Amino acid sequence: GAGVSQSPSNKVTEKGKDVELRCDPISGHTALYWYRQSLGQGLEFLIYFQGNSAPDKSGLPSDRFSAERTGGSVSTLTIQRTQQEDSAVYLCASSLAGVAETQYFGPGTRLLVL
Amino acid sequence: KNEVEQSPQNLTAQEGEFITINCSYSVGISALHWLQQHPGGGIVSLFMLSSGKKKHGRLIATINIQEKHSSLHITASHPRDSAVYICAVDPWGTGNQFYFGTGTSLTVIP
């Protein structure tokens, strides 16, 4: 595709429900990143995939968060039993081959947990 | 402790002014990124630096690896440059962490 796409663009959910966020990276990009930006806060790194594997998941805020990537392309970020503090914009980015490269950002998914 | 510090936090300039935003970091890095985030929220990568200096249009980015410092300069600033500018570093290219500065909010007044 022309750029990184994310879906949904907006998601409102009730506390305790599970949500799944999707990221479609630029075709051919092997590296994929998930970030979070809470209201009025800076960007926070969540996880990085090289191909289908994520070498380190320690950036995920809690064990309610999980991420996977299949086929070296689409990635999903799943938040189980959502809490109000999970409300944020979740951003995905991709780069051609890995770290120390220009990243291309998606438009983000705005998540609101009521 | 924040691994990446930016200054100033907020900056207001008159159109045409020369602007400098500074970034200091405390870890060894493989690359430093300057990002731009417009009020609508979209993020664009402006530069990725591992040494020296890069120029793109009216934007110039420099990095001093020994001093762990980078600057972003905007020449002949314009109201459309109004945005949040974010410095971020790749610590030694592991991909396991990615440290961000808190951003500099720039407003350019016509």
pLDDT, tens digit, 9 for 90 and up, residues B40-73? 778 999 999 999 999 999 999 999 999 999 999 9
Report the gap between the CA of A22 and the closest CA in chain B (Å): 17
Kind of pairing between the strands at B31-37 and B19-25? unpaired
Rounded mean pLDDT, B13-29? 96
| Residue among A42, A44, A98 minimizing CB distance to B95 | A98
Instruction: Count Cβ atoms below 10 Å from residue B66 Cβ, excluding itself.
Output: 5
Does the pLDDT of residue B95 top 70, yes or no? no
Output the DSSP codes for B30-98: SEEEEEEE-TT--EEEEEEESSEEEEETTEEEEEETTTTEEEEEESS--GGG-EEEEEEEESTT-SS--
- The pLDDT value recorded for residue A99 is 66
- Band of pLDDT at residue B1, cut at 50, 70 and 90: low
- The pLDDT value recorded for residue A1 is 52
- The pLDDT value recorded for residue A72 is 81
- The pLDDT value recorded for residue B93 is 55
- The pLDDT value recorded for residue A10 is 96
Does the pLDDT of residue B38 top 80, yes or no? yes
Size of interface A-B (CB pairs under 8 A): 64
Chain A residue with CA closest to B34: the answer is A102
Report the gap between the CA of A54 and the closest CA in chain B (Å): 9
- Percent of chain B exceeding pLDDT 90 equals 78
Q: Is B16 on the interface with A (CB under 8 A)?
A: no
Chain B residues in contact with A98 by the CB 8 A cut-off are 93, 95
Closest CA to B49 of B64, B59, B27, B67: B64
Candidates B3, B30, B43, B105: best to mutate against A (most CBs of A within 10 A) is B43
Number of Cα atoms under 13 Å in the Cβ half of residue B66: 1
Which regions of chain A are under pLDDT 50? Answer: none
Mean pLDDT taken over chain B: 92
- Percent of chain B exceeding pLDDT 70 equals 95
- Band of pLDDT at residue B97, cut at 50, 70 and 90: confident
At a CB cut-off of 8 Å and minimum separation 6, what does A54 contact? A47, A48, A67, A69
